[in-house]
Structure 1
């Protein structure tokens, strides 16, 4: 999927202005929520992209709730329910990046700020593709320019403000997202501009392996 150059320039320009004003003086973010267990996302069957078709066949897209409270760059709370953007992994809170000599910022909080800016400027519509339970849902979101819809997760990853998520078994949730991530990394877009970027997927996989080792030892 190719994202319109005009769309990218317009949205990113507005978002960067917002982020610069928010980040440079001091990071201003909502109060840190209680830790939320990471919900494993199942990979798409047959490795195909589960994103609904652009015409929305069989799917009801509704405007993104602008009163939503972001928990992370890939999850938010609205109307008592938690929503997570399918296939997208945000930078983790508690990890840091060096944005200037001697100046570090929380990577997850920077990511959250940009996610808020992108959503505000792109005004996406979303649809639920899976209910994990009554209060936790997986969604895909799309933005529109002209008569063409663009996948929000692809846009965020291509601009370096998100990463291709993997399942608990290490499989890519949406294989096509890896190409967008590679392009952002090579171009040093978004968070990739920081040389000490703590890649969230690598961290989560490492934590999973450590937990597996502890479980094995505990059973011996």
Structure 2
């Protein structure tokens, strides 16, 4: 008999599976495809270019948020899962997912990103996006900032390969420098947790 996954882990697993279907489209665009990927079947609205507002944003995870009745996710990264914990240098146990959310919220507040949607799924309704963050006179990729500073990780496909190689390189640098969440010895790496949950779900079928 299989047991239901915890709510936050089940939702994270659903979000984890969606980019596996979208990876060929997004990677083609990153490598210089002439046109953006088409929206998923059943999607009727064009994929937008938009700004993240300074109010009215509902943060679901450290890579996913809702605004104006739509759900958006940064493409190619995976934040910590809510409900998993790590130990900070002072010895306190903290929620890893909430730490990712707090950092994303602070980045959005301080850098006022402008985002471009790259793909959309119909179920669950979700728009994958890349965002440009403004830091002084520089424009930086928001996902890169999250991973480089150690508050998000490179998403992988079903074979364990990174969806975006640049994020994997940034993750390695953050781990080596022990930035952000990497300072914790008991860091609950989300990709490992999601891959295990996926394997357990497949065995239970």
TM over 0.5: yes
Alignment correspondent of 1:61: 49
SS in 1 for 2:60: strand
Unaligned runs of 5+ in 1: 1-31, 216-220
Question: SS of the residue aligned with 2:59?
Answer: strand
Q: Structure 1 residue 61: deviation in Å?
A: 3.4
Please give the alpha-carbon distance, in whole angstroms, between the structure 2 residues aligned to 1:164 and 1:152. Answer: 13
Alpha carbons of 1:140 and 1:51: their partners in 2 closer, same or farther (altered >3 Å)? farther
Structure 2 unmatched runs, 5+: 1-6, 37-46
**Residue 79 of structure 1, CA deviation:** 1.1
Rate the CA distance shift 1:205–1:70 in 2: closer, same or farther, 3 A.
Answer: same
1:122 corresponds in structure 2 to: 111
Contact 1:33 1:71 in 2 (8 A): no
- 1:98-156 Cα offsets, whole Å, 9 max, x none, are 11454101110111111111111111100111110283211111123577532110111
Match 1:99 to one of 69, 77, 88? 88
CA distance in 2: counterparts of 1:175 and 1:167, whole angstroms: 12
Matched position secondary structure for 1:129: strand
**Count, aligned residues:** 181
2:100–2:151 CA contact under 8 A, matched in 1 = yes
Q: CA RMSD in A?
A: 3.0
Which segment is superposed worse, 43-52 or 127-136?
43-52
* Structure 2 partner of 1:173: 163
Change (3 A) 1:207 1:34: closer
Is the aligned partner of 1:89 residue 2:78? yes
TM-score, structure 1 normalization: 0.72
The answer to whether the aligner puts 1:79 opposite 2:68 as a matched pair is yes
Return the alpha-carbon distance in structure 1 between the equivalents of residues 162 and 117 of structure 2: 20
Distance 1:112 1:47, change over 3 A: closer
